[in-house]
Chains A and B, each alone.
Chain A
Amino acid sequence: MGYELKLRVWRGDQDGGDLGDYAVEVSEGEVVLDALHRLQATQAGDLAIRWNCKAGKCGSCSAEINGRPRLLCMTRLSDFDPAETITVTPMRTFPVIRDLVTDVSFNYEKARELPSFAPPPRDADGKRRMAQVDVERGQEFRKCIECFLCQDVCHVVRDHDDNKPAFAGPRFFLRYAELDMHPLDTHDRRELAQGAAGLGMCNITKCCTEVCPEGIKITDNAIIPMKERVVDRRFDPLVWLGSKIGIRTKDYDGRTEV
């Protein structure tokens, strides 16, 4: 059942690097991260890999396997022909720190730019009430494990560093959508999503949805509805008229623009 896997791994740092060829013993049921760990333990003790849970729950071990953004811990070796060489490279959209570890600070900066949840006071008995059907929309988005593969694959920033300041990326459109659909939130972030976060730059090619390890329908369930909400606010003549004569759509009742 075991065999010798041919691995090609990018080694280097911000000053440059190269693909290194390795052969490592692997066995049945293993994933790419197992092979890299064995490489680390037996041949390359200083190989830099970022990982934590090894269960697809923390989103740390993002990299590109044969050019495709994936989690190292959820990519099974049985998906490949044993004769095939597997190539592992760091995420391309983010600057390399060392080997497979990248500087994902872009995402932490974008997280800081997003105004947080702002609930009204609790009910009189000190509790809050929401219907299951209403929380489920946001729950899909909160499955996000922040692996940043959607950010990595997004062509708006993948080879265009200059777009990064004006574009928050799919992970944060998910967050805008989550808060916008939160049954209790009191902020209206539509203008912010369109302006500062650059929602308009997304042209819904669905690459983010394809690489999401959690299977979140980022484009269909978050980005497109968010785009529609923004358009409603800006261009729908009825909404425009309503806002002129003081009638607001009920969806945004009690929300204040931030």
Chain B
Amino acid sequence: MSTTSDRHPMTGNEMSGAAEGGTERHQYDVVVVGAGGAGLRAAIAAHEAGARTAVVCKSLLGKAHTVMAEGGIAAAMGNRWPEDSWEVHFRDTMRGGKMLNHWRMAQLHAQEAPERVMELEDWGALFDRTDDGLISQRDFGGHKYARLAHVGDRTGLEMIRTLQQRTVALGIDVFMECTVTDVFKQDGVVSGALAYWRETGRFVLFDTPTVVLATGGIGKSFKVTSNSWEYTGDGHALAMRTGASLINMEFVQFHPTGMVWPPSVKGLLVTESVRGDGGILKNSEGERFMFDYIPEFFRAETADTVEEADAWYEDKKNNRRPPELLPRDEVARAINSEIKAGRGTPHGGIYLDIASRRTPEFIRKRLPSMYHQFKELADVDITREPMEIGPTCHYVMGGVEVDPDTQESAVTGLYAVGECSGGMHGSNRLGGNSLGDLLVFGKRAGESASAYAAGLGATRPQVDEDDVRAARASALAPFEVEGGENPYAIQSDLQQSMNDLVGIIRTGQELQESLDAIEAFKVRAASMKVEGHRQYNPGWHLALDLRNMLLVSESVARAALAREESRGGHTRDDFPGPDPTWGTKNLVVRLDAAGTGVELQEQPLPAMPDELKKYFESK
């Protein structure tokens, strides 16, 4: 079943830390980088399609960032609202993304998400139920109907555990605590990848005609973020270095509700389910301020009185949704404005109140993780007092530009899926659409990669040994530096700079400053040094991740400077409104000719077919 017998039972490493030199070498049809929801779903699909498949991940299996997802998986199953359908979900997704989404991805996602959720149940997931015994579905921002399949507020944990157990049951090879540094090509197509074991610092070479990037996001480039250390944009940067392009990088989602206190957990996510389940936002004057921030685009479908908003939870047909459940970009901007206007809380946030709206029993049942998180980390009992929250960097809409049906990038054999791919969410992602994205496109990527590998037959692209030597030397360079700077200091300065200059509200001048700052960080990073040796050395790991963070940060800042309008997860103080001309264009970034920076290009949006356009005609 598994070929892991000679390998380390946990990590998959073939050599003990004490063994002498050498590089391990493995042959696969499909190598998946990342073991979150997208990576595991891709690996399962590739394995089931008959490919020899490996998963390579920076952490232990089961620890990926998907575990943090709380709310649920958006899928038009119609278990609570039979009126729901893929067409409605498609429309919500496109409107949430301010029409900049790739229509085909939004369509495939809406059509296939329900079956992907059912599949999880086949593999052992235990979703919350409706009274009829079906999978329950909850309300979330931007979704017309209650549509999110959920398990309390720990849906991501359920998803990762289910996929992990499936991966183990199928005997798929997993290389844990193993970081990919380079993807190799021969004659323009993928031939392999180089990685290092975090445990020993030794290299491992994969001969593989396909690499599926499923590395997640870039949030660690920002100071206040809900993302874990792994989110250093590895897949984004690997794709660029391999010759692929990124799309929509200016769109970064700041989740409206992150914890603001205590400082050590600032940015930690507070699930949107709090609002979906009845929670409201108030400023320091006690005012439910979201009614003042309903944008024209959503006015027709948003309640404008407290009475209507409160009635909606029980009667969705005759009432419009509360303004607290506008898409995330709208809510985050409103909160930001309230704080800036001096109506913030003592710790610089605003209040999220569910205590005065629902019973303690309801709150503990529906939001157990939030109850636990605030109790343990902030000494706040959310069944009795409001939470203090503020925006936090949560998700990047931008990512590798891929074919919507196969997830293949511009480079043959290189695929990208999940948060590190772009297009599906346009300028703003709706809550609940990420978990569905991972499953739908994970499966598609795994299947298309294995089909391509199978079609190659015996003639496969070969890894060039010179490329391997160069990649190894580059990875080890930080050990050779005399007297350089510590990578932790550079990372910390980069995070502060991105937070201050490329944050939720942007201006042309600040974006230009951020690009200058990034150039200065690059100079510092060129001479950074790490102490100690290669065995489990976090300083060295960070030094390598930092290169990716710099490339990705530059992509975000450059695209943000170019897009002179405000739309979704990109707000320009100097260009406050959406501009219809910009609404027809994507921004694409690639590595520049020198290989040290990024170049930018405009590209027309893919044209939506007429039969889908009808869902957006005003009624």
Contact = CB atoms under 8 A, between A and B. Distances in A.
Nearest to B60: A60
Contacts of A116: 123-124, 165-166, 168-169
Contact of B263 (A29, A126, A128): A29
A98 to B, nearest CB: 4
B67 interface: yes
Interface stretch (A16-24, A135-143, A189-197, A225-233): A135-143
Nearest to A33: B264
Contacts of A13: 17, 535
Interface string A135-165: 1001100111110000000000000000000
B81 interface: no
Interface string B125-158: 0111100111110000000000000011010011
Nearest to A109: B9
Contacts of A142: 126, 151, 157-158, 161
Contacts of B126: 130, 135, 138-139, 142, 182
A28 to B, nearest CB: 6
A45 B492 contact: no
Given A29-B263, A52-B229, A143-B368, 4 more contacts: A41-B488, A58-B68, A182-B126, A215-B372
Nearest to B230: A52
B264 A52 contact: no
Contacts, number: 178
A49 interface: yes
Interface SS of A by simple majority: loop
B68 A53 contact: yes
A40 B538 contact: yes
B76 to A, nearest CB: 14
B68 A117 contact: no
A86 interface: no
Nearest to B66: A58
Contacts of A97: 17, 199, 536
Interface string A206-226: 000000000100000000000
B168 A111 contact: yes
Nearest to B122: A119
Contact of B128 (A51, A52, A132): A132
A239 B161 CA distance: 35
A135 B530 CA distance: 50
A129 B135 CA distance: 8
Interface of B: 2, 8-11, 17, 59-65, 67-68, 79, 118, 121-124, 126-129, 132-136, 151-152, 154, 157-158, 161, 165-166, 168-169, 199, 228-230, 261-265, 268-269, 368-369, 372-373, 376-378, 486-489, 492, 530-533, 535-540
21 contacts: A31-B377, A41-B489, A46-B530, A47-B538, A48-B538, A52-B67, A53-B65, A53-B67, A54-B268, A55-B268, A56-B373, A56-B377, A97-B536, A101-B536, A105-B8, A111-B168, A112-B168, A116-B166, A119-B121, A127-B79, A135-B126
A8 interface: no
A95 to B, nearest CB: 10
Interface residues of A, number: 62
Contacts of A112: 2, 168
Nearest to B199: A97
B386 to A, nearest CB: 18
The 8 closest A-B pairs by CB, nearest first: A29-B262, A105-B10, A46-B532, A129-B133, A117-B124, A45-B539, A116-B169, A41-B488
Interface in A97-134: 97-99, 101, 103-105, 108-109, 111-112, 116-117, 119, 122, 126-132
Interface in A29-78: 29-31, 34, 40-42, 45-60, 74, 76
B233 to A, nearest CB: 16
B541 to A, nearest CB: 10
A46 B539 contact: yes
Contacts of B118: 122, 126-128
A129 B132 CA distance: 7
B553 to A, nearest CB: 19
Nearest to A108: B10
A14 interface: yes
B536 A99 contact: yes
Contacts of A256: none
Contacts of B122: 119, 122
Nearest to B1: A112
Given A105-B11, A130-B129, A146-B62, A55 B68 contact: yes
B121 A128 contact: yes
A27 interface: yes
A58 to B, nearest CB: 5
B537 A28 contact: no
Contact of A45 (B158, B165, B376, B538): B538
Contacts of B123: 116-117
Given A30-B263, A53-B65, A76 B377 contact: yes
A97 B134 CA distance: 46
Residue among A13, A54, A117, A132 with most chain B CB within 10 A: A117
Contacts of A101: 536
A54 to B, nearest CB: 7
A131 B133 contact: yes
Given A41-B492, A138-B126, A52 B228 contact: yes
A128 B79 CA distance: 11
A74 B151 CA distance: 23
Nearest to B486: A45
Contacts of B535: 13, 98
Contacts of B269: 55
Contacts of B489: 41
A30 B210 CA distance: 44
Contacts of A128: 118, 121
B182 to A, nearest CB: 23
A37 to B, nearest CB: 9
B436 to A, nearest CB: 17
